[in-house]
Structure 1
Amino acid sequence: MWVAVLPVMAAAGELGEPVVPSPHILVPLLLGLVAAATGLVRHRPPAPFNRGAQALLGVLMGTYLNPAALGGVAGSAVPLVAVTLATLFICQAAAWVMVRFSGVDRATATLGMIAGGSAAAVASADDLGADGRLVAFLQYLRVAMIVMSTPLLLSWILPGARQGSAGAPDADDVAPWHLVGGHDQMWGLLVLAAVVLLGVSLGRHLRLPSPAMIGPLLVSAVLTVTGVAHGFAPGGVLQTLLFTMIGLDVGLRFSRRTVWRLRRILPAALACTVAVSAVCGALAWTISALTHIPFGDTYLATTPGGINAVLATASSAHANLPLISSVQSLRLFEMTFLAPLLIRLALHHGPRDRPRTR
Structure 2
Amino acid sequence: MDSSPEQPSQDHAPIDRMARLRPPRQWLVLLVFSLPFAGALELAALPAALLIGPMLAAILAGTNGATVRVPRPLFASAQAIVGCLVANSIAADIFPAFYKEWPLFLGVVVATVAASSLLGWLISRWRILPGTTAVWGSSPGAATAMVLMAGAFGADQRLVAFMQYLRVIFVSMTAALVARMWVDTSGVEVPPIVWFPPIDALAFAATIGIAIVGGLAGKLVRLPSPFFLGTFIFGAVIHLGLGVPMQLPPWLLAISYAMVGWSIGLNFTRPIDQPT
Q: What TM-score, normalized by structure 2, do the two folds share?
A: 0.69
1:209 aligns with 2:252: no
Check the 8 A contact 1:67/1:225 in 2, yes or no: yes
Deviations 1:60-118 (A, max 9, x none): 11111111244333323343344444344334423443344337676665566555633
Q: What is the match of residue 57 of structure 1?
A: 82
Percentage of pairs with the same residue? 19
Deviations 1:285-315 (A, max 9, x none): xxxxxxxxxxxxxxxxxxxxxxxxxxxxxxx
Check the 8 A contact 2:30/2:58 in 1, yes or no: no
1:259 aligns with 2:247: no
Q: Secondary structure at the match of 2:164?
A: helix
Check the 8 A contact 2:69/2:266 in 1, yes or no: yes
**1:10 & 1:207 partners in 2: Cα distance?**
33
Deviations 1:18-74 (A, max 9, x none): 33524323332332332233x153454232222111100111111111112443333
Q: What TM-score, normalized by structure 1, do the two folds share?
A: 0.55
Check the 8 A contact 1:30/1:251 in 2, yes or no: yes
Larger CA Rg, structure 1 vs 2: 2
1:241 aligns with 2:239: no
1:124 aligns with 2:139: no
Amino acid of the structure 2 residue aligned with 1:177? F
Pick aligned residue for 1:28 from 46, 54, 69: 54
Count of residues in Structure 1 that have an aligned counterpart in Structure 2: 241
Query: Kindly tell me: are residues 184 and 136 of structure 1, through their superposed partners in 2, closer, same or farther at Cα, counting changes over 3 Å?
Result: closer
Check the 8 A contact 1:6/1:241 in 2, yes or no: no
Check the 8 A contact 1:192/1:233 in 2, yes or no: yes
1:190, CA displacement in angstroms? 1.8
Q: Name structure 1 gaps, 5 residues minimum.
A: 126-131, 164-169, 262-356
**1:29 & 1:161 partners in 2: Cα distance?**
33
Q: What is the match of residue 6 of structure 2?
A: none
1:184, CA displacement in angstroms? 4.4
Richer in helix (by share): 1
1:15, CA displacement in angstroms? 5.7
**1:16 & 1:95 partners in 2: Cα distance?**
28
Q: Secondary structure at the match of 2:259?
A: helix
What root-mean-square deviation, in Å, do the aligned CA atoms of Structure 1 and Structure 2 show?
Answer: 3.6
Q: Name structure 2 gaps, 5 residues minimum.
A: 1-23
